[in-house]
Amino acid sequence: MMQAGIFTGYFPYGLEETAKKIRSHGFNTAQLDLHFKDIDLSYGNLNAANCKKVRDTFRANDLPICAVSAYTNIIHPDLDQRKANVDRLKEILRNARALGSRYVISETGTYNEESEWMSHPKNKSEEGFEACRKIIAELSQEAYDHGSMFLLETYVNNVVGSVEETVKMFAQVDHPGLGLLMDPTNYFEDHNIDQMDQVLNQVFDTLSDKIKIAHAKDVARADDDKSEKHADIGDDDALASHTFRGVGEIVLNAPGTGVLNYDLYLQRLAEKHPNIEMIIEHLDEADVPRSKAFIDGKFVANGV
């Protein structure tokens, strides 16, 4: 049976209170965001004591960590910032097992200087892809050397933003330190959202063997607001990766609020991953009960 989990970052509290609140909703797994009100897990602070404190706190609350967030722009156009981003990601890869999971997740990023979620012509160039490939290969080796695995998350406006680009990256970085985070909503934009089932089947026909963890949000066409969209999730210190809700023609909101064919998604996912963790995102704390009920209902309806 599949397990429903949630990002810890949607609960803006200290470490212990966050774990207790998530468990009180009936979740039995979580994706770890390295941001809590009472412990510093920033660069240079992933020491043995801090990692053990995080790991033991979640274990004590019967809430195993299934993956660690490391979202960053790995091909930032500013080379100094790019190096800082990649160095931080490598630090997380080195310490992932001590935090409770071997899986560390990030998207591939964009050459756009204004936003981590907006496209740029260089993203779709051979030069841009090759630079990204080299970094993905480095991250995969770093992960492998430390018993972890880097999970690439496709996002449509990034360097790796389509099914074809994802397949190409895995073909060129054929490495045991690399896996896939499956979020089907990230493959859609205006030109293909009406081919929902076709795209979902293409994703699973070509990438099922690479999937390690799954995400649960939703996708729909935007209204008149075509800007980069962010939500107020009740935390002034919230990361932009947790407030982001889409850009341009597409909105990315909580599960059950859009047009994603969840029945087909779960049916195809269950074929090879019947016990996978599915992590809910793109919501605020008040919407957690509804979102979990939606996902649990889909599990029951589809027998997964």
Q: How far is CA 217 from the centre of its chain?
A: 10
* 25 contacts 301 by C-beta, under 8 angstroms: no
Tens-place pLDDT, residues 161-198: 999 999 999 999 999 999 999 999 999 999 999 999 99
Residue 290, classed as helix, strand or coil, is helix
Both tokens of 301, joined, read 């309806």
**Taking all residues of the chain, what is their mean pLDDT, rounded to a whole number?**
94
What pTM, to 2 d.p., does this model score? 0.95
* 245 contacts 282 by C-beta, under 8 angstroms: yes
Both tokens of 300, joined, read 């029951």
Q: How far is CA 169 from the centre of its chain?
A: 17
Element containing residue 277 per DSSP (H, E): strand 277-280
Query: Rounded to whole angstroms, how far apart are CA atoms 81 and 75?
Result: 9
Both tokens of 264, joined, read 């087909």
Query: Rounded to whole angstroms, how far apart are CA atoms 142 and 64?
Result: 24
The domain 3-219+255-302: what is its CATH number? 3.20.20.150
Domain range list for the chain: 3-219+255-302
Q: How many alpha carbons fall within 13 Å on the CB side of residue 193?
A: 18
Tens-place pLDDT, residues 214-269: 999 999 998 877 677 677 777 777 776 677 877 778 899 999 999 999 999 999 99
